[in-house]
Structure 1
Amino acid sequence: MANFAKPAGPAFSVEVYQNEFLPEDGREVHAVVTVTATGGGTVSGTTGVAGAAGVAGVAGAAGPASGAGTGRGPSAAVVLMVDCSGSMDYPPAKLRNARDATAAALDALRDGTRFAVIDGTHVAREAYPGGGRLAVADATTREQAKRALRRLTAGGGTAIGSWLRLADRLLASADVEIRHGVLLTDGRNEHEAPEALRATLEACAGRFTCDARGVGTDWEVKEVTAIASALLGSADIVADPAHLAGDFTAMMEKTMGKEVADVALRVWTPAGAVVSYLKQVAPSVEELTGRRTEAGPRAGDYPTGSWGDESRDYHLCVTVPAAGLGHEMLAARVSLVVPQPGGTAQNLGAQGLVRAVWTDDLTASTAINPQVAHYTGQAELAQVIQQGIDLRKAGDMDGATAKLGRAVQLARVSGNADTAKLLAKVVDVVDASTGTVRLKAKVTEADEMTLETRSTKTVRVKK
C-alpha cells in the first residue's frame, strides 16, 4: 500500500511490505517500511568541476565560484571541520589535500549558504570567517575562505568534541532550515576523554547532521562511525588523501540537495502493542530503537535527519497482544512528521499501516516476506563483519574465520557485490555458498578499515 502527500518541498510516500498473517499464538509482526521523497527540485551549487576548481582556488586562481547563480533551495548552514593536528603533516601532502578538498566543498555551496571553517587540533579555532559568526557564500567569501585555508598549518593534538561544540555554536547562530557539519580527521581522539566526546554527541544530536571522514589509516573506525551515527550523517574512509576533493564535492552536493530537515518517523501502536525495534536498513543499517521520543498516547518519534530526493527502508518489529484465529488488528501506523517547538509537529501527510491477521493456514503464517527476509540478512551481515574483525584483532582466528565466512555467505545470498569485494580482500573465498573461507595471511590496514567502515552499507531488495 502507498499513500502520497505533497508538502512544501518534496512529496513523501510510505510503502509497507509485510506478511500480515500470524499463527494462533503469534505475537511478533515484522514489516519493511519504505519512505521516499521525490520532486523537491533543488539544484545543487555545482557545475561538475568543483573538485578542480577547489584545487585551483587553493593555488590562488581567481574566477567565479561554481556555486554562483545555480538554483535555489532551502536556507542552509554548513561548518567544515578540518583536522590540523601534527599528524596531518605526515606526509605533508595530507594537509594540502585536506585544504584542496575543503576548497572543493566551498565551490559546491549554493550562493547564500551560511558557512564557516574550523581549524581542529586539541582546541577548536575559527579559521574563517571568525568572530563567532558564519559567512554568506558568494564569489568573494569563497575566495576569502580559500586564502584562510592556505594559512592552515599542522600542529598540536586531537580533541574532536571541541570541534563539534564550536560547530554547534556557529550553526545555532543561523536562522536556517538545514544545519550540517563535515568532519575530517586522520587520527584518534587522544586529547579528550571518551566520555567527553560521548557527552558532546548527546548534546549535539538533533541540532545538526554531520558527515565524518577518516583520511589515511591512523584513525579509529569506531570513533568516526559513532560520530556519524549519533548525528545522522555518513561515515567513510578516504585511504588515499588524493581522493579527498572528489569525496568532499560529492558530500556537499548531497547536502545542497537536502530539502527538509529533522524529519521523524512517527509510529503509533494500539493498546497492548509495543515497538520491539526500529532500524534503518537501507541505504545502511542504523539502529533507531533507543532514539525514540514520546509523541502522545501510544506514539513515538524516531529521528531520520534531513531529506532530499531519496528513498530509505526501515525494519519495524511490533509485539502485539495475543488474539484468536480469524481476528485482525492494526498493529502500527507509521507517518512522517517534523517536530515543532512546544511539542507540536508538522505532519507530512504520508502514512503506512501495519496489520496483523491470525490464521490457521500454515502456509500463510509461516511465509516470510521477501523484503523482511532480505533486510534481516543485511542486518546480520553488518553484525558478523564487525564481530569477525573484532575477533581477528583479538587474535581469535577460528572465530574470525567463522564470522567472516558467514558474512561471505550472506553477501552472496543478498547480492551485495560491493561488500563481497571488500570481504575478498580480507579472506580467501573457498566456497561462497557455504561460507567456507580462509583468513588471508597479510591484510593491509586500509582494506580492513574499509571493510569495517562500510560494513553497514546495504544493497536494496528488488521489489
Structure 2
Amino acid sequence: MTQDMSSHTRPSQPGIRLHVDLDGDLPPRRNTKIEAHLRVDVAADGAPTDLPAVELAVIIAVDVAESNRAMVRHALPAALRALPDRISFAVLGSGPEPVRCYPRGEDEWAVADQQERRRAAFVAGSLPLHQGGPRPAGYAAWAAGSRALLTGRPLSVRHLILITDGSSAAGETRLEEELDLCAGQFTCDVFAVGTNWSPDPLLALAERLHGTAEFVEEGLGQAITGAIQRLRRVHTPQLPIEVTVRPSVRQVSLNEKAPRPHRLGGLPQAVRPHRWSFPTYQWEEGTRDYLLTLVTDADDDPLETELQFAMVSIGDVHAPVVARWHIPQQAPPHVSAGGDSVRSLNATAQMRSALRQGLVALQDHRRDIAEDCLGQAARLAVQFGTDWVLEEIRGVAEIEDAAAGRVRLRPVDTHTLGPMILRAGSRPGGPLITAVAARPGPRCGECGHAAGSEARYCIVCGKELL
C-alpha cells in the first residue's frame, strides 16, 4: 500500500474549491460509464510563499557515460553551489550499481551550508560515471537506490532528479515493479541529455512518480536549480482525493489531465470498501483538472430517478456526482455519460496521444500512420487553440489545412524525435475548462457524514439532508 510521503507537512490546509461537471442523464443499463470532470482550485490562503528548505530531501542522480562527462562537467557543480541552506541532499554517480558519491563516509545525507556546497561541488568534478564493464540494470536500479535513501529521510518533500543519457544497461522489465514500490515514497523529475536514450521509460518514471521528463540541450544547471525552486513552491506535499461510491459502482478510475497528465493509482480502504483514495503530490497554488470515471450497473431500473453515484472529497471539501436515470426510446447496451467539459478533457487527451503516436510512428518509419495521427493532432490543436502542438507538428511536417487535419510529412532525422516525444507525453498544460467552484457542503444530521453543497441525500445512511 502506498504510504504517506510526508511525516510532517505545513500546518494549514490550502484553500480548496471543488467543482464537478457531467451530463446528468443516464440510460439504466449494465456497464453504464459515467465520466465527470473535476476541477480543483487551490489557494495558499496566507501560507508562506516558499516551503522551508529544511523540509526537502533531494537526490541528484547522474546516469551518464564517461564519454559524455562534458554534459555535466559545469552544470552539476553550479547546481550544487546554488542549493538553498538547510536542504538535505545526496549525489549519486554511476558504477555497476548507483554509487553514493556525496556525502562521503557514513553519513547518507548532507545538509546544505556554505561549506557543504563547496565540498559537494568539488567532489562533483570527479563524479564516477559509466565506463566499460557492468552497468546498472536500467532505470529500475536508479529508482531502487533512490528509494532506499529517501525512505530513510522522513521529510515533507522527497524528490529524485535523474540526469540520464540512456547509458545504463538493458533491464527495464523490472521498472514497472519498482515503480509500484516507489509510488508514494518520492517524486521524480527526469532530464535527458544526449541522443541515445529511449523516451518511454523516462515518461513512465515521470508519470508514475508525479514529475516531468524533458530534454535538456543547454542550461542543465539552471534546469536542476529550477526543479528545486519548484519543489519549494509546494504548499501541501500530499493531498489525497477520496471517492466514495454507491455499491452498484463496480469500477473507479481517476486521471489528472492538467497541468500534467498522470494516471493515478486508487487504494480501496479496507474498513470502507466503497471508498477509494487517490494520492496526489506537490500541490501548488493553482488549478488542476481530473477525469473521474465510474462504471455502474442499473439492471434496467424502470424509475427515472436522480441518484448520487459518488462523493468526491478533498480535505474538508466535498462535492457529489449526481445523475438521473433516463429511459430513451432506444439505448445502446454500453453507454457513456459526460458533459461538455468531459468531452473537452477527452479530446485534449486524444490530441496529446495523437501527437505522441504520430511522432513514434515517424520514428519507426511508418509514415502513413504518422501522417494520420499528426493530422488528427493538428485538427484538435486548432479546436483548442493549442499553439505548441502546432509548432511541434511544423517541426516534422507542412500543415496544409489544420482544421481539416491535413499535413504532409517532410524528411526528418528520426534521431531528433526523442525530445519531441518527451514533450508530447510530459509537457505541462494549463487549465482546460472555465468552471465555477463549489463551496463545502453540509453534514448529515443522522450520521454526521459530510455531503456536497448540491447533495440531497446522504451517501452513507440515505437520509434526506435538510
Q: TM-score band (shorter)?
A: 0.7 to 0.9
Q: Whole-Å Cα distance in 1 between the matches of residues 312 and 99 of structure 2?
A: 43
Map of 1:11 onto structure 2: 15
Q: Name stretches of at least 5 consecutive residues in structure 2 with no aligned partner.
A: 1-9, 330-334, 435-466
- One of 52, 74, 79 as aligned partner of 2:59: 79
Map of 1:229 onto structure 2: 207
Map of 1:66 onto structure 2: none
- Corresponding position: 1:404 with 2:374: yes
Q: 1:113 to 1:119 in 2, by over 3 A?
A: same
Q: Whole-Å Cα distance in 2 between the matches of residues 158 and 424 of structure 1?
A: 38
- Corresponding position: 1:392 with 2:352: no
1:102 partner amino acid? A
Map of 1:95 onto structure 2: 72
Task: Provide Cα deviations, 1:58-99, integer angstroms capped at 9, x if missing partner.
Answer: xxxxxxxxxxxxx7367221111122422423xx3x122442
Task: Report the more deviating stretch, 161-170 or 180-189.
Answer: 161-170
Map of 2:320 onto structure 1: 353
Map of 1:461 onto structure 2: 432
**Mapping of 1:7-406 within 5 angstroms?**
8-23=12-27, 27-39=32-44, 41-44=47-50, 72=52, 75-89=55-69, 92=70, 94-100=71-77, 102-103=79-80, 107-109=82-84, 111-130=85-104, 131-152=106-127, 154-156=129-131, 157=135, 159=137, 160-190=139-169, 192-238=170-216, 240=217, 242-288=218-264, 291-295=265-269, 296-322=272-298, 323-324=301-302, 326-336=304-314, 348-359=315-326, 369-406=339-376
1:331 partner amino acid? F
Report the secondary structure of 2:161's partner residue.
strand
Q: Name stretches of at least 5 consecutive residues in structure 1 with no aligned partner.
A: 1-5, 45-70, 337-347
Does the 8 Å CA contact 1:77/1:113 hold for their aligned counterparts?
Answer: yes
2:375 partner amino acid? G
1:123 partner amino acid? E
TM-score (norm 2): 0.80
2:385 partner amino acid? G
Q: Which has the higher helix share?
A: 1
C-alpha RMSD over aligned residues: 2.7
Q: 1:304 to 1:141 in 2, by over 3 A?
A: same
Percent identity over the alignment? 25
Map of 1:432 onto structure 2: 402
Task: Report the more deviating stretch, 267-276 or 420-429.
Answer: 267-276
TM-score (norm 1): 0.80
1:143 partner amino acid? R
Task: Provide Cα deviations, 1:153-209, integer angstroms capped at 9, x if missing partner.
Answer: 54424543333222222212223122111111012432x522233333222222111
Q: Whole-Å Cα distance in 2 between the matches of residues 247 and 315 of structure 1?
A: 30
Does the 8 Å CA contact 1:80/1:102 hold for their aligned counterparts?
Answer: no
Q: 1:205 to 1:259 in 2, by over 3 A?
A: same
Q: 1:174 to 1:153 in 2, by over 3 A?
A: closer
Q: CA deviation at 1:308?
A: 2.6
Report the secondary structure of 1:433's partner residue.
coil
Structure number with the bigger relative contact order (C-alpha 8 A, sep ≥ 6) is: 2
